[in-house]
Amino acid sequence: MAPVPDPRPLAGRRVVLGVTGGIAAYKAVELCRRLVDAGAFVSPVMTDGALRFVGATTFSALASEPVRTSLFDDPDPIPHTRLGQGADLVVVAPATARLLADYVAGRSHDLLTATLLATRAPVVVAPAMHTEMWEHPAVQENVATLARRGVVIVPPEEGRLAGGDVGAGRLADPALIAQVVETLLSATAPPVSALVHDLAGLRVLVTAGGTRERIDAVRVISNRSSGKQGYAIAAEAAARGAHVTLVTTVDRPVPEGVAEVVPVESAADMEAAVVPRAPGQDVVVMAAAVADFRPVEPADRKLKKHEGPPVIELEPTHDFLVDLGRDKPAGQVLVGFAAETDDVLANARDKLARKGLDLIVANDVGAPGVGFEHDTNQVVVVSATGIDQDVPLSDKRAVARAVLDAVVAHRGLVAGSPAPPDLTPAEQAKETHP
């Protein structure tokens, strides 16, 4: 009789659970239990600092094998290599500021950091620290660097912390961290970004579709933009916890979670909708294809065919993206799009600089399956910091995910990013726990 397969989601999977020295180490006990209950073989690795908060016996009793704490107190002469090579995934919770800095710099001074450098498995990092440390530009830059390298960051939450303080830095719920692990190890699960609300509390404005400029009462000058990419970005931002405003020229089903939809038609309509709203946004993504020219004098009636071909004089539309770049408030991330057919990157970089953008999404709309009207796209996300990210041909939701990952990474590099606008003074209070 054939054995009955284990139905648990992590059955047969090997997970290294790293625990570092923060007060939130006690929550890693719950994470360990959840991973084991899901079927994972959990190998716990604790730092010396972690042992000051939680005893090794607790994890040894709950995990699949005894705790390891040292590179040298182990019968295996190279425990970090064995752990790294055998892991299907490594998760560090809590991750202190020191762990983040060591991981970025490639320092392997203990068993956990050595294991992180010795693995090619997916890595999940859940930071936890007091608010001043979490918001420090060096820590934010380290987080952004790890995210660019492919590490999945489960950001800390706002809430009550040690000592009665309230602020950012509280370890994410162990149930969420366990769900992220399950998602990464499942081929059929939803994207991790839908679980990790790294845009929670932020206001994001997205434009979508191609503008239409009137020739007469029935005819327009337009382009082939379907709005699919803009709608995918709006859907992804909402899934990641953002308050999303969608300014659109197309009539498509509104993505779940989008807070406000503003229908527009022309470039002037879009300008009137976007410019007054932009100062209150944390992120503005200009995915719409805005017309460069419009008829000077559109007819207020339908022009008749027997009257002969009309002579249409065109004038440039106002490039209000330049205004958005010039007047961009501190901390805001402004994203443009460059649909090109030649010299794609050169034109995109020129547009990025001229218009004061933080990021620009460049694509060759002449390539098969790319850009207008397609369900797929292939882009390069160009950053003002000089870091470019190639996104291969993918469905537009995957491209949206990459664009917003770049936004999150860029925000981490901006010193002094403001707190999300809807927090109360108590919620913005600084936290002081170890």
pLDDT at 428 > cutoff 60: no
Q: Does the pLDDT of residue 142 top 50, yes or no?
A: yes
For 158-189, letters b (16+ CB in 10 Å) and e give beebeeebbbbbbbbbbebbbbbbbbbbeeee
Per-residue pLDDT at 421: 39
Catalogue the active-site residues: 223
Cis peptide before 94 (omega within 30 of 0): yes
Q: Residue 35 in contact with residue 66, Cβ under 8 Å? A: no
- Which residues, listed in sequence order, are joined to residue 203 by a DSSP beta bridge? 243
pLDDT at 61 over 90: yes
Return mean pLDDT, the chain: 87
pLDDT digits (tens, 9 = 90+) for 337-347: 998 888 999 99
Answer whether residue 75 shows pLDDT above 70. no
Q: Tell me, what's the pLDDT at 187?
A: 60
Residue 371 has pLDDT above 60, yes or no: yes
For the ranges 264-273, 303-312, 327-336, 409-418, the lowest mean pLDDT is seen at 409-418
Tell me, what's the pLDDT at 148? 78
Short-list 307, 127, 321, 114, CA closest to 207: 321
209 or 240, which is more confident?
Answer: 209
At residue 132, the pLDDT reads 84
For the purposes of burial, counting CB atoms within 10 Å of the CB of 104, is it exposed (0-12), middle (13-18) or buried (19 or more)?
middle
**DSSP SS3 for 103:** helix
DSSP secondary structure string, 261-280?
A: EEE--SHHHHHHHHTTTGGG
Residue 420 has pLDDT above 90, yes or no: no
Point out the least confidently predicted range of 212-216, 237-241, 371-375.
371-375
> Would you state the pLDDT for residue 434?
30
Lowest-confidence region among 2-16, 99-113, 188-202, 361-375: 188-202
Please report, rounded to a whole number, the percentage of residues in the chain having pLDDT higher than 90: 62
Q: Mean pLDDT, to the nearest integer, of 294-304?
A: 93
Question: Nearest-CA neighbor of 30 among 45, 19, 41, 22?
Answer: 19
**pLDDT tens profile 86-128:** 999 999 999 999 999 999 999 999 999 999 999 999 999 999 9
Alpha carbons 311 and 251: distance in angstroms, whole number: 31
Classify residue 326 as exposed, middle or buried by CB count within 10 Å of its CB (0-12, 13-18, 19+): exposed
Length of the chain, in residues: 434
Domains (range + CATH), the chain: 14-193 (3.40.50.1950), 203-413 (3.40.50.10300)
Residues with Cβ within 8 Å of residue 343, at least 6 apart in sequence: none
pLDDT band at 141 (very low <50, low <70, confident <90, very high): confident
Confidence check: pLDDT of 186 > 90:
no
Amino acid letter at 20? T
Smallest CA-to-CA distance from 379 within 397, 357, 394, 359 is with: 394
Which bin fits 349, alpha (ψ -120 to 50), beta or left (φ > 0)?
alpha
Query: Rounded to an integer, what distance in angstroms lies between the CA atom of residue 42 and that of residue 181?
Result: 12
Residue 248 near residue 209 (C-beta atoms within 8 A): yes
Whether the predicted pLDDT of 160 surpasses 80? no
pLDDT above 50: residue 361 = yes
pLDDT of residue 3: 67
Supply the pLDDT for residue 26. Answer: 94
Q: Is 53 in a helix, a strand, or coil?
A: coil
pLDDT over 50 at 426, yes or no: no
**Choice between 162 and 50, residue whose per-residue pLDDT is larger:** 50
Q: Which residue has the higher pLDDT, 194 or 397?
A: 397
- Per-residue pLDDT, averaged over 7-22, amounts to 92
Share of residues in the chain with pLDDT > 70 (%): 89
Non-local (6+) Cβ contacts of 224 within 8 A are: 210, 289, 372, 373
CB 412 within 8 A of CB 144: yes
Mean of pLDDT values over 386-411: 88
pLDDT of residue 5: 75
Q: Residue 216: is its pLDDT beyond 50? A: yes
**Poorest-pLDDT segment among 12-26, 296-310, 408-422:** 408-422
Q: Phi/psi class of residue 12: alpha, beta or left (left: φ > 0; alpha: ψ in -120 to 50)?
A: left
pLDDT given for residue 203 in this prediction: 94
Residue 162 has pLDDT above 80, yes or no: no
- Enumerate residues 6+ apart whose C-beta is below 8 A from 293: 213, 221, 314, 315, 316, 317
